[in-house]
Chains A and B, each alone.
Chain A
Amino acid sequence: MNRSEFPFLGFGVGLRRPHYAHVLNEHPAVDWFEVVSENFMVAGGLPLRVLQRVRERYPIVLHGVSMSLGSTDPLNRQYLVQLRDLARRFEPAWVSDHLCWTGVGGHNLHDLLPLPYTEEAVSWVARRIEQVQETLERPILIENVSSYMNFAHSTMSEWDFLSAVAEEADCGILLDINNIYVSAFNHGFEPKRYLESVPISRVVQYHLAGHSDHGSYLLDTHDHPVCAEVWSLYETAVRRFGKVSVLLEWDDNIPEFATLEAAADEARTRYKSAGREGPNEDARCDRA
């Protein structure tokens, strides 16, 4: 996998149901949309029609939540074939999912659970990502999740685990800046250390989102604006990783589309500003 194989898409937002009409009628000036794959792995109806019309005007990316790459259950072949067919039909810039497990024993928790950070888990997940990439006929990106627990028998840090899996599976990384911040708070590590350790050549996309503060822990709820600390961490990432596509996520208490558009514009402004300060010349960008 070579990062240059992935286009730079600019600054996008997650496409969510309350905004369908606005996006189709007003054609807002965002660079691209990310959609939740499972919402469109359906037989027919409005979602596929909307996606078709959005795709006619914008680049899209398929972002899944149910691949369960880290589960010890067999990979769900039917799910993968459906996803492959969806990707063939809509030609996304890329397909992504999470470095996690979502169920076991044939059951689905519909949540993104962390893995133990061990060599065995690296090998296990990497083999499965290879199988997924073979079925989907394309390299995928894996995203770091927000986590609330880690395991006593882990032998490496989360960032070393993410890097090792991506290297061994030869896949890309979707770096969720908010998830790094949330997990850093919940587990007591320095978030900048995470950014410094992930291989530059594998990072293709960022996620930015809001979270909620529960006092003793942060919860990745995607229902608030991006906080100042996450913006700051994002700027650090821009200085290190250079030209990486950026995506604003908002999944609950979803505001007017203009709010998301403004957040994407802020990401663009900060990107340009941080790019000028950093060593990566190609971080400077105009509208994609």
Chain B
Amino acid sequence: MRPRLGDLQSLLYRLITATNGVEDGLVTERKLPPDGICALVRGNAHLSAVERVEIYANMYFYRLLDAIREDFPATFGVLGDANFHNLITAYLIEYPPSDPSIGEASRHLGEFARNSPSLKKWPFVADLIRLERAMVEVFLAPDAQPLGVEEMRAIPTAQWCSLRIAAHPALQVLDCEWRVEEIVRAIAHEQPFSAPARDARTILVWRRSYSVSFRALDDLEQSALRMVGRGYPFGAVCEATAAERGDSATPAAMSRMLMRWLSDGVLVRMQS
């Protein structure tokens, strides 16, 4: 029998990714020749045809598991080996990879975790996954020259009001329900950790000198970053933030916030 190449590849894909293994996949497979898989794949005394396909099935799963584990050390640390394994097993069934980059295989993991009944015991894990995924994306996001302290000082203060600014393209802002940044920090420093408190917060993830950082934002910074995102010039950001935050938006507080942004490389200057 000479199967069409496309049919052969589709069959092997189904067997390699079969939820309960190759043997089980063969039981439910309707497009096999009368002699089964042996009519397609050569076996020998050392390895049967099924065992040969199983090698690929194992490699498929474990290669992805290893790659995802590398990008989610805190999630792995919280869940442990078996639970993480089960999470990724279930995830890959629902979201099989399609991108040429293996790093993109975890793109939907946060979304999956939010609705995963197996994670009820760890209600904060969906937030944790979103934070670790954001760190991966920020690490590989586009480059841009950040607006720094020296550059800002070189701009005449009379021009600050009309200065057009934007958030650095390698920056993400996450709304989380839990203090998950504390777990990421603890695990990165090999410190003990406990389940985080439920405490709604907005986390800034950014990149400076090719290394990724994160921190929870206070209300003032949240408002101001939202204004930056709307494309307001610097003066309008300050005015709108002051109008929204009232007393907390003192000139001193705004100045501290600006210095921190400039030092962290959170902003870029837009060309007029």
A and B are partners in one complex rather than unrelated chains:
yes
Among A43, A105, A149, contact of B42 (Cβ-Cβ < 8 Å): A149
Instruction: Say whether A228 faces chain B, with CB atoms less than 8 Å apart.
Output: no
Q: Are B140 and A76 in contact (CB-based, < 8 A)?
A: no
Q: How far is the CB of B16 from chain A (nearest CB, A)?
A: 6
Q: Which residues of B contact A57 (CB under 8 A)?
A: none
Tally of contacts, chain A with chain B, CB under 8 A: 124
Q: How large is the interface on B (under 10, 10 to 19, 20 to 34, 35 or more residues)?
A: 35 or more
Q: How far is the CB of B28 from chain A (nearest CB, A)?
A: 17
Among A47, A120, A148, contact of B140 (Cβ-Cβ < 8 Å): A47
Q: Are B42 and A151 in contact (CB-based, < 8 A)?
A: yes
Q: Which residues of B contact A39 (CB under 8 A)?
A: 101
Q: How far is the CB of A117 from chain B (nearest CB, A)?
A: 11
Question: What's the dominant secondary structure at chain A's contact region?
Answer: loop
Q: Which of B54-62, B150-158, B181-189, B231-239 contacts A (4 or more CB under 8 A)?
A: B54-62
Among B47, B97, B143, contact of A110 (Cβ-Cβ < 8 Å): B97
Q: How many chain-A residues does the 8 Å CB contact rule pick out?
A: 44
Q: Are A148 and B55 in contact (CB-based, < 8 A)?
A: yes
Instruction: Say whether A111 faces chain B, with CB atoms less than 8 Å apart.
Output: yes
Q: Which residues of B contact A106 (CB under 8 A)?
A: 98
Q: Which residues of B contact A115 (CB under 8 A)?
A: 5
Among B16, B55, B141, contact of A109 (Cβ-Cβ < 8 Å): B16
Q: Are B44 and A38 in contact (CB-based, < 8 A)?
A: no
Q: Are A110 and B63 in contact (CB-based, < 8 A)?
A: yes
CA distance A116 to B39 in the complex (A): 13
Q: Are B101 and A104 in contact (CB-based, < 8 A)?
A: no
Q: Are B42 and A111 in contact (CB-based, < 8 A)?
A: no
Q: Are B140 and A42 in contact (CB-based, < 8 A)?
A: yes
Q: Are A71 and B9 in contact (CB-based, < 8 A)?
A: yes
Q: Are B41 and A111 in contact (CB-based, < 8 A)?
A: no
Instruction: Say whether B207 faces chain A, with CB atoms less than 8 Å apart.
Output: yes
Q: How far is the CB of B150 from chain A (nearest CB, A)?
A: 21
Known contacts: A104-B10, A116-B8, A148-B52. The answer to whether A153 contacts B97 by CB under 8 A is no
Q: How far is the CB of A263 from chain B (nearest CB, A)?
A: 23
Identity of the chain A residue whose Cβ is nearest the Cβ of B138 in the assembled complex? A45
Identity of the chain A residue whose Cβ is nearest the Cβ of B55 in the assembled complex? A148
CA distance A43 to B42 in the complex (A): 43
Q: Which residues of B contact A111 (CB under 8 A)?
A: 16, 56, 59-60, 63
Instruction: Say whether B192 faces chain A, with CB atoms less than 8 Å apart.
Output: no
Instruction: Say whether A46 faces chain B, with CB atoms less than 8 Å apart.
Output: yes
Known contacts: A46-B139, A148-B55. The answer to whether A104 contacts B13 by CB under 8 A is yes
Q: Which residues of B contact A121 (CB under 8 A)?
A: 5
Instruction: Say whether B142 faces chain A, with CB atoms less than 8 Å apart.
Output: yes
CA distance A72 to B53 in the complex (A): 19
Identity of the chain A residue whose Cβ is nearest the Cβ of B46 in the assembled complex? A216
Known contacts: A38-B100, A153-B3. The answer to whether A110 contacts B53 by CB under 8 A is no
Identity of the chain B residue whose Cβ is nearest the Cβ of A115 in the assembled complex? B5
Among A38, A71, A104, A153, contact of B1 (Cβ-Cβ < 8 Å): A153
Instruction: Say whether B190 faces chain A, with CB atoms less than 8 Å apart.
Output: no
Please name 13 pairs of A and B residues whose Cβ atoms are closer than 8 Å in the assembled complex, sorted by A: A38-B100, A42-B140, A46-B211, A48-B143, A104-B10, A108-B98, A109-B60, A109-B97, A110-B97, A120-B5, A149-B52, A149-B53, A152-B42
